[in-house]
Amino acid sequence: MISVVDPLQVSRFLQAYDTAANQKGIKLSIGFDFHKYVSITRALPTKKPTQPSFRPDRSPIKSDEGYWLIGVDKNNEVALVEAARLYDLSHSNFAEHLESLKAYYADPTIHAHPQSRCICTAPSAKEITGKVAYHGDFWLRKDFRGQGIPKIMAAILRGASFAMWAPDFVCGLAARWLLDKGVLAQYGHAHHESGAMLQLVEEDIADDDLLVWMTGEELRNLVYRHDRADLALIS
């Protein structure tokens, strides 16, 4: 894909969704220090523990290869969090990255429990290669749910990832209940497949997830040709 990014188009896209978040009573900000991110997320009583993918004690992230977003309400209390990081899979693919546990640990031989494992049978995971933006750790406070905010969250993350990296793919793992309850559709994932079973013993994680993704070209089209009428429905 073409790597040149139009900064004006990206800024218009991000501004539109940032304004939509403000209209919902949420002020967004971006950060790059994942030690600070983990300290924030640990203080959220209803949020699941942050996966080691975004924990610098398990998987260090360079300042230009990861970021996180936080949204606060009018009382400056945390209402949402989410994170993204870039994987260089030019000599690998996302299925191998998951099954080797390198998606979660810089060195699985040191940090992964001997019984931790990931089995990825999603066929398209082997096609996800090159510069891969991995999005995850989504959390939205209960009193802000049911207002279309997941769509805003996903759009901001995609716009920021496109601006920073122009990746070949954007992907993540999503719980099956998100599909069953229609929440997955709000995030606007272009594709999803079953087949990502994860067990991280030390973190007490045992998930049977969906692989969700979009191509770099789909991401570019989303940012450059976003539907303002669709955004108006959220607002």
Instruction: Give residue-wise pLDDT tens across range 16-54.
Output: 999 999 999 999 999 999 999 999 999 999 999 999 999
The pLDDT of residue 108 is above 90: yes
User: For residue 11, is it within any domain?
Assistant: yes
Q: What is the 3-state secondary structure (H, E, C) of 194-235?
A: EEEEEEECCCCEEEEEEEEEEEHHHHHHHHHCCCHHHHHHHC
In a domain, 205, yes or no: yes
Return the minimum-mean-pLDDT range out of 92-96, 136-140, 177-181, 201-205: 177-181
Residue 121 lies in a domain: yes
Contacts of 214 (CB under 8 A, 6+ apart): 158, 169, 170, 171, 189, 190, 191, 222
Predicted pLDDT at 152? 94
Per-residue pLDDT at 65 exceeds 90:
yes
* Domain that includes residue 86, residue range: 7-234
Mean pLDDT of 105-118: 96
User: Residues near 73 by Cβ (< 8 Å), separated by ≥ 6?
Assistant: 25, 26, 27, 79, 144
CATH code of the domain covering residue 103? 3.40.630.30
For residue 2, being part of any structural domain is answered with no
Per-residue pLDDT tens digits for 175-185: 887 777 777 77
Segments in 66-215 forming alpha helices (H): 94-99, 108-111, 149-165, 176-180, 183-187
Residue 112 lies in a domain: yes
% of the chain exceeding 70 in pLDDT: 94
Total structural domains within the chain: 1
Task: With respect to residue 211, please indicate whether it lies within any of the assigned structural domains.
Answer: yes
The model's pLDDT over 68-89, given as tens digits with 9 standing for 90+, comes to 999 999 999 999 999 999 999 9
Confidence of residue 189 (pLDDT cuts 50, 70, 90): confident
Residue 167 tokens read as: 């990746």
Q: What is the largest CA-CA distance in the chain?
A: 51
N-term to C-term CA, the chain: 32
Share of the chain above pLDDT 90, in %: 83
Residue 197 lies in a domain: yes
The answer on pLDDT for 149 being more than 60 is yes
The length of the chain is 235
pTM flag (> 0.75): yes
CA 90 to chain centre: 20
Per-residue confidence band for 230, with pLDDT thresholds at 50, 70 and 90: low
Note whether residue 1 is domain-resident.
Answer: no
DSSP 3-state assignment of 188?
coil
> What pLDDT sits at residue 75?
97
Q: Determine contact, residues 99/119, Cβ cutoff 8 Å.
A: yes
